[in-house]
Amino acid sequence: MSPLIPSPLVLSAAGTALVLDGSGPGLPRVRHFGADLGPVSGSELLPALASLTAAPPLLPAQGDGWYGRPGLSGARPGEHWPVRWTLDGFDVDATPGAGGTVTVTASDDRAGLALVSELAMDAGGLVTMRHTVTNTAASPYRLEGLTCALPLPARAGELLDFTGRWALEKVPQRRAFEHGVWSRENRRGRTGHDGTGLLVAGTAGFGFRAGEVCAVHAGWSGDHVHYAERLQEGAALLAAGELLAPGEVTLGEGESYRTPWVYFTWSGGGLDEASGRLHDHLRAARPLPVRPVTLNNWEATYFDHGLDRLLELAGRAAEAGIERFVLDDGWFRHRRHDRAGLGDWYVDEGVWPGGLHPLADRVRKLGMQFGLWFEPEMVNPDSDLAREHPDWILGRSERMPPPQRNQQVLDLARPEAYAYLLERLDTLVGEYAIDYIKWDHNRDIAEPVHDGVPGVHAQTLAAYRLLDELRRRHPGLEIESCSSGGARIDYGILARTDRVWTSDSNDALDRQSIQRWTGLLVPPERLGCHVGAPRDHCTGRSLPLAFRAATALFGHMGVEWDLTSASEDELTELAAWIALHKRFRPLLHAGRVVRADHPDPSALVHGVVLPERALFAYVQLTSRLDTGPGPIRLPGLDPAALYEVRPAGPLPEGAGLPQWAVTSENGPIRLPGAALAELGLPAPALRPASVLLVEVERV
C-alpha cells in the first residue's frame, strides 16, 4: 500500500466517472461523481477541479471544512477529540473505462482511531463503498454513527423517495431539494414497509427516461438511514448507512466496526439507466438458475392443511404448468391459528401423522419442486419454545417488549437460540429434501435488548449468519425473503436470498405500482409476482384473470389462488398465461427494464429489452380523461435497428384495437427503434384493468 495518492484519481466505466483528489491534507476529497469526463488524465483535470472547494472528503468532518452532518460520530467517557485524519496508505487497482477499487487507510492518534475506506466502481458504473473504524486507544469508544457519502452537483434540485404500509409498499413522494437535511430513518429492526429503498436526487422534473439522477441504497436489513444534505457553502451530498441506537456499538481497544455496503448509482438519462446499473450489479454478484413458476397455498387454504385438499391443489397446479409447490404457515406443532406455535419447528403429528412426506412425494411425482414456509426469527408466547426458554426472547426479561401479531422476537445473537434454529432448519431441509424456503418476518422489532444493550445490530448479523450457514450446508437451497410482504427488501438480504415477496397484496391494480417502484432496486427475476384469486383478500377488489396474469407475468411469476375452486375455463386460461411467461422468461429475467414517461396518468407503459427482442405492456389502470389515447412510445430499443411489432398473448376483451394490433394480410408492421421511441404506436382504447402486450423483434 502506497503512502502517496495519484491525484486526482479517476475511476470510470459505462459512462460514469468518479474523481478523487488526494492533494490533502487528510482524506481524499470526492471532486466529481457523475458523467464520464472523457479521455483526459488526472493532471489535466486540475484546473477544472480547482473551483470545487466545497467537495467533501470520503468521510466528512468539521476539521475538513464540512459543517453538515459528520460522516463519523462517537464519544469517549470524559474526553473528546474531534477527528482529523492523517493519511497512512492508499491502494488502487483501476483500469480506465473498466472501473476499479480504491482502499484508503488513515488514522488519528490523538482521537485513538484508525480508518479503512473501501470504494469500488464495477464495469457497469455502479459505485459501492464501506468504512471500517478501529479503536486504537485503551479507553472504550462509543460509536454513534458511520455513514458513506458521495457529492451531488448544484443542479440536483429535486428529491424522490418512497414510503408505504403493509400491502401498499413503495409509494413515491417528491420534493424540492433545498438547504438542510432530508433524512429517512428506519427504527423498525427490519427494512420496513415504509423503508425508502432508494433515495434519489436529480435535476428538476427528472423521469424514467430523462434528467440527471443520483441514488443511494444502504445494503442493510436492520435499522438504517438515508439522507440528502445541502449546505449554504454550495456543497451537497447523498449518504446512507446503519442507524445505531445509543450504546449499541462500543469498541474496546483493538475492536472494529464495519459499515454495510452502500450503493451509489448515477444516470444522465433518467431513472431507468440508474436502475439498470443496480440490476446489472446484483445479477453479476448472484446469478440465478431458471425461476420456476411457483404456487403458494396460503390464500388457497390458509391454516386448513387437510392432505386430500392439498393433494388436489397440487394436481391442479401441475395441470396449469406450475413448477414449484410451497406449503405455507400451519404445518408445525400447535399452529391451527396465528396465536400459537411459532418457534416449535416440528411437523405437527396430529395434522401430519405421516410427516410431510405424502405431500412432498406427490408434489415431486407431479414434476414440481417442494417448498416450505418458516418464520425463524419469531416466537409465539404460546409455544413450547417460549415456555421452556423465555430468556431467549429479544428484550429485558423483567419487562417484555410490546407484542405484535401475538409474537415476540427470538434473540438470534444468543448462541443457544441460534443453535436451536440451525439444527431445526437443517434437519427439516435434509429430511424432506426441501428445494425452497419462504422465510418470513412478520413484525417490527420493538425495544430490542441483547446483553443489556440495543440489539438490532447483533440480531441482523446473526440472521445473516444463519442464512449463510444454511445455504452452505444445502448449496442448492433457494430462499425467499418475505417480511409481511415487502418489509425486508434490501441488498443485504438479497446477498443471501434468491427473491423477495414484493407485497402481501395480490391486487393487480395496486401491484402495478408496487412492482414498478420496487423494480427500481430489484430486477424482475427476484420479484415474487403472483396471480391472486378473482377477489383479492387484502382489498376485496375483483379483477379479470387476464389483468392479474399480465401483471404477474413481468416478475418471478407464481400463483396464490385456490385452483380447486377455479373453473375449467379459468384453469385453461391460467395455463395459457403460464406458458406465455415461460416463453418470454429468458427475456424477462435477463433483459433491461424500461419504463416510458407516459403522459396519461390513467395508463402505464413498461417493458423488458434485449438486443434482439423485447416485450412491452400497455396497461390501462383507470378510465381515461381524454377521448383518444395517446401513442404508445416504446423506449430502450436500438434507434438504428429495424423491428417487427406484433401483439403478444391474448388480446384484451372489449378493446378498440388499432390496425397494427389486429391480424392482417400484410403481417406485422416494421419500424426503426427511433420511430418506436419517438412517434410510438397508436394506442388501443382499453377498458380499465386491461393490458395489451407488445412483442418486438429485431429484423
Given a contact cutoff of 8 angstroms between Cβ atoms, the answer to whether 535 and 563 are in contact is no
- Report the C-alpha gap between 8 and 351 in whole angstroms: 68
Report the relative pairing of strands 324-327 and 369-374 from DSSP bridges. parallel
Write the burial class of residue 6 (CB in 10 Å: 0-12 exposed, 13-18 middle, 19+ buried): middle
- Report the C-alpha gap between 526 and 660 in whole angstroms: 33
- Report the C-alpha gap between 242 and 131 in whole angstroms: 11
- Report the C-alpha gap between 246 and 619 in whole angstroms: 48
Active-site residues: which are they? 440, 504
Helix axes 307-319, 568-588, angle to 10 degrees: 60
Strand blocks (E) in 109-247: 113-121, 127-135, 141-146, 148-151, 158-165, 168-176, 180-186, 199-202, 213-218, 224-230, 236-242
Long-range Cβ contacts of 396-401 (<8 Å, 24+ apart): 396/447, 396/449, 401/446, 401/447, 401/448
Residues forming beta bridges with residue 615, ordered by sequence position: 608, 695
- Report the C-alpha gap between 558 and 296 in whole angstroms: 8
Given a contact cutoff of 8 angstroms between Cβ atoms, the answer to whether 525 and 491 are in contact is no
Q: If we measure between CA atoms, which residue out of 73, 143, 152, 150 comes closest to residue 119? A: 150
Q: The C-alpha cell of 613 is what?
A: 427482442
Distance of CA 119 to the CA centre of its chain: 21
CB environment 645-675: b (16+ within 10 A), e (fewer): bebbbbbbeebebbebbeeeeeebeebbbeb
Report the relative pairing of strands 127-135 and 113-121 from DSSP bridges. antiparallel
Helix axes 307-319, 357-365, angle to 10 degrees: 20
CB environment 65-99: b (16+ within 10 A), e (fewer): bbebbbbbebebeeeeeebbbebeebebebeeeeb
Sign of torsion, CA 615 126 283 557?
negative
Given a contact cutoff of 8 angstroms between Cβ atoms, the answer to whether 6 and 36 are in contact is no
Write the burial class of residue 588 (CB in 10 Å: 0-12 exposed, 13-18 middle, 19+ buried): buried
Q: 683 Cβ partners below 8 Å, 6+ apart?
A: 603, 618, 629, 630, 631, 632, 658
